[in-house]
A and B are shown apart, each in its own frame.
Chain A
């Protein structure tokens, strides 16, 4: 079979909504695109532990402490699960981490913003995880089987995160004037970064077209963003939070909320490493990864010794 015929057959399978599995033939570009997207997704889960971990020691109640820790653990678990799913494409976790450290692999830009007050933990759960869910529900139908199954599993936990985030915001909006101020401040800072999580507008998205054709992505950035905007504005108003955008307007004809254009220059700057926490996040990951070298070496040496002992005694 020629490359061209293989490609045609591959596209036919995609068009018929068949799932592609790790051992199936796939175009190199499809494999690369998936590795890029899935490893980026895994790294995002892991880097996302930092801004939330920033409040783990200061959570204000025993219950809040437990919920936040459980949530961070879920994120780390998603990271592990996604690293494994990505490994089915023929790349190992060490290489992916190396690519992250070298800046060749990215993570979600939203984690380059700081968590400055307790309401930020609410805002991350509600807005950041909320945006992630909209994206991930769509990705449950992605054409690559391992990724699709990962998304189905992860979505269940993310919707719990979103609820607990909204609960923090609700409690604070029902609280003291200072608490309300914190909640609104968090809203003001996280609104635009959350909307940018869906990626650049459709007419300016580098990888979108091919990804849609291969059904790696199922819906466009703008469609997903609009879905998130529509459900989130109502939720914000319900607890008395203002949307930090004076131009929002409900269009009765389209039944959609209209919002101001986003500052895509800032988005590009943050993606390119110039956001408030880019250096901090990456340096943190590199530092603690390197500090763990001796532990990983010891564990490996121990396992090898044990194996040798077993062979000699048998």
Chain B
């Protein structure tokens, strides 16, 4: 794989993670447990859509067949999305959403930290800006994980159940393919194995503080970076792409 194709694929993966994660958070709009958290969740979504747009813009500029960031966001089919399986999982209750957000933002924070040293100036620029947001997202979600873990018996049980359910999707975030090989060798992206080590440490610390047990589950479910998804993504796309698909060529 040449570098340009690898950068294109990588940008889609980064953008898709943000887009799908933002879409899931948007589902909470007007459904939050308290108005302040309702607003916090749409605020996170807004940051993520902004990050998605930056990566889509860059990807579109690298591919002559792609007209715009919107075409990439709204007009690909399921197997052409490269987001991690974790972010497409259903929201469940507030504990599941916050746990999902926590596991993902810990990964994003470490990823953006590494990418601030990327040899690709655009990726470096986007990541430097996004890192500030990811740090806040990580703080927000880890505070909730601790609060729920140490709150009441009910909240502890719910958040433990959340990690039990989600843990199986976490190794997928660190799966690598030919894209990563090319980008690691050119110093554009980071080795996800290294990130995995750091992630385990950071996540472990917070879970310990939250008095939560790390599940002892097999983690073999993978495929996001190769366009292999769970059943949930198709439904997310059906809703998100509705207007673009129903009225091809219209300007909005």
Chain A contact residues, CB within 8 Å of chain B? 46, 49-50, 53, 56-66, 69-70, 72-73, 76-77, 79-80, 83, 118, 171-172, 174-176, 178-179, 284, 288, 291-299, 301-302, 305
Contacts and interface: CB of A to CB of B under 8 A. Distances in A.
Contacts of A70: 46
A69 B155 contact: no
A69 B46 contact: yes
A94 B252 CA distance: 40
Interface in B146-204: 146-148, 150-152, 154-155, 158
B8 interface: no
A65 B49 contact: yes
B70 A61 contact: yes
A284 B30 contact: yes
Contacts of A298: 147-148, 151-152, 154-155
3 residue pairs, one from A and one from B, having the closest CB atoms: A292-B33, A298-B151, A298-B155
B88 interface: no
B7 interface: no
B80 interface: no
Interface string B56-86: 1000000000000110011000000000000
Main secondary structure of the interface of B (DSSP, over half): helix
A297 B155 contact: yes
Contacts of A76: 35, 38-39, 42
B150 A302 contact: yes
B56 A57 contact: no
5 contacts: A56-B29, A73-B39, A118-B243, A284-B30, A295-B155
B216 interface: no
A60 B74 contact: yes
Interface size, B (range): 35 or more
B239 A62 contact: no
Nearest to B57: A62
Contacts of B158: 294
Nearest to B150: A302
Contact of A80 (B26, B36, B154): B36
A302 B247 CA distance: 50
B239 A57 contact: yes
A85 B151 CA distance: 30
B223 interface: no
Contacts of A53: 29-30
Contacts of A299: 147, 151
B11 to A, nearest CB: 14
B243 A60 contact: yes
Contact of A57 (B38, B53, B93, B240): B240
A209 B26 CA distance: 43
A178 B247 contact: yes
A141 to B, nearest CB: 28
A224 to B, nearest CB: 28
A174 B152 CA distance: 55
A295 to B, nearest CB: 4
Given A56-B26, A69-B46, 20 more contacts: A50-B30, A57-B23, A57-B26, A62-B52, A70-B46, A72-B30, A73-B39, A73-B42, A73-B43, A73-B46, A76-B38, A79-B35, A176-B247, A178-B247, A288-B30, A294-B154, A296-B33, A297-B155, A298-B147, A298-B154
Nearest to B250: A176
Contacts of B94: 292, 295
Contacts of B35: 46, 76, 79-80, 83
A62 B150 contact: no
Nearest to B159: A298
A175 B46 CA distance: 27
A294 B96 CA distance: 14
B34 interface: yes
A58 B26 contact: no
B136 interface: no
Contacts of A50: 30
Contacts of A302: 146-147, 150-151
Contacts of A296: 33-34
B50 interface: yes
Nearest to B93: A291
